[in-house]
A = this chain, B = another copy of it.
Amino acid sequence: MEFRLTDEQYMVRDTAQAFLADASSSGQVRRAMTAARSYDPAVWQRLCTELYVQAVTIPEAYGGLGLGYVDLAIVLEQMGRKLFCSPFMATVGMATNALLLVASDEQKQRWLPAIAEGTQTATLAWTGPQAARAGGSWGAEAVSATWTATAEGYQLDGDLRYVIDGDTADLLIVAARTPGSSGSEGIGLFVVPASSAGVERQWTPTLDQSRRLANLTLRGVSVAADQCLGVAGEGWPQLQKILALAKVSLAAEQLGVASEALDMAVNYTLEREQFGRAIASYQAVKHKAADMKLKAEVACSAVYYAACVASEVLAPDGDVNIAAELDEAAAMAKGYCSDTVFFNAGSALQLFGGVGFTAEYDIQLYFKRAKASELYLGNGAAQREQIAAMLLDGESAQ
């Protein structure tokens, strides 16, 4: 039992930090926010070449680094700190997990190396228009696109919403269900190149400009049989795992956003004077910062515990008892970090006072990201209801 970073993991952190200090300055983030793709392809290529972290969780057999989810969390945390605009979350934090978890060896050979090389980006498209509500509805019932079996494979139809980087990703991991099915029944997972005939994609402008969402429309999209991940119709347990892993990714990034908001606020309050004193010397300010610090520390424990669990889930010889904690650990991490990131960013905005309200200062960008990521895949209350169901509703619960 060793619940601290290894020396190698410190190196991963420091390298990511140094890269992002150079590649994700305030000016770079603001340019990316209004750029055509919401990120700078040149910076993405630099990341893929110099850091190679897009391959962090991909096994060496497929050209990756073969590291665990803890290393991925380290990178995501640093990206959160700098609001790095890139297809990393969608590609590595979400879509790659689907391939790692569900794809056959042939399918992995076909798609993972391009991701590992940085020549393809990917995303996860699974929720339909009627589905994602406030609260706890980011579940199976949110899947509304359909698949039907055809002679040569499958046909996909329907609308997909809230797809991160859906307008630019090269590869789409699509969840669909058999027509007429409901709940966790009938769900299938498919790998769809974005260039496939019948795929339309529309960027939807968002409050948080540092991450793009898109609507996808699939109209009679044909995919071959070998583009189906696992068994069509029995995909929900896999999708559930993929979503739990996505929550861990988001939580790691939220930890970074929350920690940076705290640091920015502390630094500002040390400089800003009111009534002849640095405002950092007022107990109201100190105690607010202390509460932010507590949340950031606890969030750190939540994220890295969940990342350790996720590592066991992805590892071929992972500890099954620990892996079984995935749903709970992911809900706890996403729930706690969602509350933390909004609390910390909101508190930081308050501590900045009037200038926090101006476009000029960066803290507002963190605030917007905080709300966006809090709501994505369900806020704190939604995660808690999921945990409550585990604790209180089952026959076997304590």
Question: Footprint of B on A, CB under 8 Å?
Answer: 282-284, 287
B residues less than 8 Å from A283 (CB atoms) = 282-284
Give 5 A-B contacts (CB < 8 Å), ordered by A residue.
A282-B283, A283-B283, A283-B284, A284-B284, A284-B287
B residues less than 8 Å from A282 (CB atoms) = 283
Q: In the docked arrangement, what's the CA distance between A283 and B283, Å?
A: 5
What residue in chain B is nearest A282 (Cβ atoms)? Answer: B283
Q: In the docked arrangement, what's the CA distance between A284 and B290, Å?
A: 12
Tell me, rounded to whole Å, the shortest Cβ–Cβ distance linking A285 to chain B: 9
Q: In the docked arrangement, what's the CA distance between A287 and B285, Å?
A: 11
Tell me, rounded to whole Å, the shortest Cβ–Cβ distance linking A7 to chain B: 40
B residues less than 8 Å from A284 (CB atoms) = 283-284, 287
Q: In the docked arrangement, what's the CA distance between A282 and B287, Å?
A: 11
B residues less than 8 Å from A287 (CB atoms) = 284
Tell me, rounded to whole Å, the shortest Cβ–Cβ distance linking A290 to chain B: 10
Tell me, rounded to whole Å, the shortest Cβ–Cβ distance linking A162 to chain B: 25
Q: In the docked arrangement, what's the CA distance between A282 and B284, Å?
A: 9
Q: In the docked arrangement, what's the CA distance between A282 and B282, Å?
A: 9
Tell me, rounded to whole Å, the shortest Cβ–Cβ distance linking A11 to chain B: 41
Q: In the docked arrangement, what's the CA distance between A325 and B256, Å?
A: 49
Q: In the docked arrangement, what's the CA distance between A284 and B289, Å?
A: 13
Q: In the docked arrangement, what's the CA distance between A284 and B282, Å?
A: 9
Nearest 5 CB-CB pairings of A with B: A283-B283, A283-B284, A284-B287, A282-B283, A284-B284
Tell me, rounded to whole Å, the shortest Cβ–Cβ distance linking A210 to chain B: 34
Q: In the docked arrangement, what's the CA distance between A283 and B277, Å?
A: 14
What residue in chain B is nearest A283 (Cβ atoms)? Answer: B283
Tell me, rounded to whole Å, the shortest Cβ–Cβ distance linking A157 to chain B: 35
Tell me, rounded to whole Å, the shortest Cβ–Cβ distance linking A293 to chain B: 15
Q: In the docked arrangement, what's the CA distance between A287 and B287, Å?
A: 11
What residue in chain B is nearest A285 (Cβ atoms)? Answer: B283
Tell me, rounded to whole Å, the shortest Cβ–Cβ distance linking A134 to chain B: 13
Q: In the docked arrangement, what's the CA distance between A283 and B279, Å?
A: 12
Tell me, rounded to whole Å, the shortest Cβ–Cβ distance linking A291 to chain B: 11
